[in-house]
Copies of this chain bind each other. A is one copy, B any other.
Amino acid sequence: MKKNVIVGQSGGPTAVINASLYGVVNEALNRKDSFGAVFGMINGIEGFAEGRVMDMEELKRSGELELVKTTPGSYLGSCRYKLPKDLNDEVYPKLFERFKEYDIGYFFYIGGNDSMDTVSKLSRYAEMVGSDICFLGIPKTIDNDLVNTDHTPGFGSAAKYVASTVREIAVDASVYDNKKSVTIVEIMGRHAGWLTAASALARKFEGDNPVLIYLPEVAFDTERFIQDVSASLEKVSNVIVCISEGINDGKGTFICELASEVGVDTFGHKMLTGSGKYLENLIKDRLGVKVRSVELNVSQRCSSAMLSATDLQEAVDSGAYGVKCALHGESGKMIAFVRADGEEYKLSYEAKDVNEICNREKGVPAGWITKDGSDVSDEFIRYAKPLIQGEVQVPQQDGLPLFAYRK
C-alpha cells in the first residue's frame, strides 16, 4: 500500500523556503507510483498536532504551485514549537496517532536548527516504537549556520539582498561626497556573521565601501572601533560600516545591551535599541561627524526582488532530493549541500545524520576574517560569490510581484 506524504515549514521564513516546499511537493506528486496523497501541515508540527492539514495536489492542478515557488514567507505557515526532550512525553504518541490518521509514511520538515531538532526527536521516537515512517529535514536559514553542509538555502538570496542593498546605500551616502559621514548598516545574525560578511560583495573596486565589517565571531572593542572609523574617514569621505546585530564584547555582552544600561523609554521600560543605533550615538559623541544607522530588517529574509537563481534552484533541488531519499527508506537525515573541489562551482546533495546537525551552529571560520577583525578575506568572497548568481523573474501583476497565499 502506498503511504501518504506530509510536509511542513518551521522557524523564520526565507525568500526560498517555499521553493523547497515546491521541490518536495512537485517531486512527490510526480511519483504517484510510490506515494499516496501529499499533505501540507499548517503552522508546522504545532498545527499538525491540531489536525490542521491541507491537500497539496489541488495547488499543482491549478498552477498555483508555480507561484508558490517564488513567493517569500512560509506558504503553509510556520511555528516555533520545540518538542520535549523526554521521548516518553505524551505529545509523541499523540502525534503518531495523527500520522496514523493521515496514513503518513513520509515526513518532511523544512527549517533550521530547531526544525532539525524536531526531525531528530521524531525519528528517534519512531525507532523507539518501531514505526517505519521516514523523517527527513530540508535545510533553510538565511543565517547559513547549519553544520555539515556547505551552505543553506535562503542564504544566497539574503546575501544577494544584503550586498545589493549595501551597494545602494553606499551610492546614496556618497552624494554629499564633499562632506564626511558615517553610515552604520545593521545586518541580521545574532551568533553567526555569514550574512554580514556578504556585505563585502557590495564593493565595486578595491577599497570601496563597506570599508569596515564586524562579525559576532570576533570580540568587539568599542575603542578599536572608534580608531578604525576615524582612520577610515581619512581615506574615504563617506564611510559605510556593516555590523552583525549580534556583535558582542566576547564575554557574553551584546553591544546593543550597552545601550540599555541607562535609557528608559516613555513607558518606563528599559530602552531597547540595536547595536547600530548604539554605535551611531557613540560615533556622534566621540567623533562629532555626521552619522546615521540603517537596520536592514525583515526584508533580508523576505525580499523577492533579489532572489538568487542559484539559491532558488538549490532550494527546489534539495526538496526533490529529500523525496528521493525517502524512497530509499532514509530517515533521521537532513539533506546536506556538498560543494565539489576545484575552481568551478558544482553542488551535490547528500543525506546526513540529523542528530549531528541539530542544535549546533557554524560561524564564519576565523581564517576568513582579517587579522584586525574589521573585514573578511578573499576566501570568503570565493565561497559566497557563486551563491548569489543569477536573476529570477518573479511574476508581476499591476506593477507588483504576485504572491501565492492560502485562501
Give which listed residue, B160, B259, B264, B302, contacts A262 with CB less than 8 A. B264
Closest to A168 in B: B302
Contact B163 A400 (CB under 8 A): yes
Give which listed residue, B77, B303, B385, contacts A176 with CB less than 8 A. B77
C-alpha gap A167/B71 in the complex (Å): 11
A218 to chain B, nearest CB (A): 23
A385 neighbours in B (Cβ, 8 Å): 398-399
Contact A13 B175 (CB under 8 A): yes
Cβ < 8 Å to B, chain A residues 192-208: 201-202, 204
A155 to chain B, nearest CB (A): 13
Contact B302 A172 (CB under 8 A): yes
Give which listed residue, B78, B167, B304, contacts A175 with CB less than 8 A. B78
Contact A172 B73 (CB under 8 A): yes
Contact B281 A265 (CB under 8 A): yes
Contact B160 A399 (CB under 8 A): yes
Closest to A201 in B: B400
Q: Contacts A263-B271, A264-B263 hold; do A167 and B299 have CB atoms under 8 A apart?
A: no
Contact B165 A299 (CB under 8 A): yes
A174 to chain B, nearest CB (A): 7
Contact A165 B261 (CB under 8 A): no
Please name 19 pairs of A and B residues whose Cβ atoms are closer than 8 Å in the assembled complex, sorted by A: A13-B175, A46-B178, A73-B168, A73-B172, A74-B175, A77-B174, A80-B176, A160-B400, A167-B401, A167-B403, A171-B405, A202-B400, A263-B266, A266-B278, A266-B281, A269-B281, A273-B273, A294-B298, A303-B305
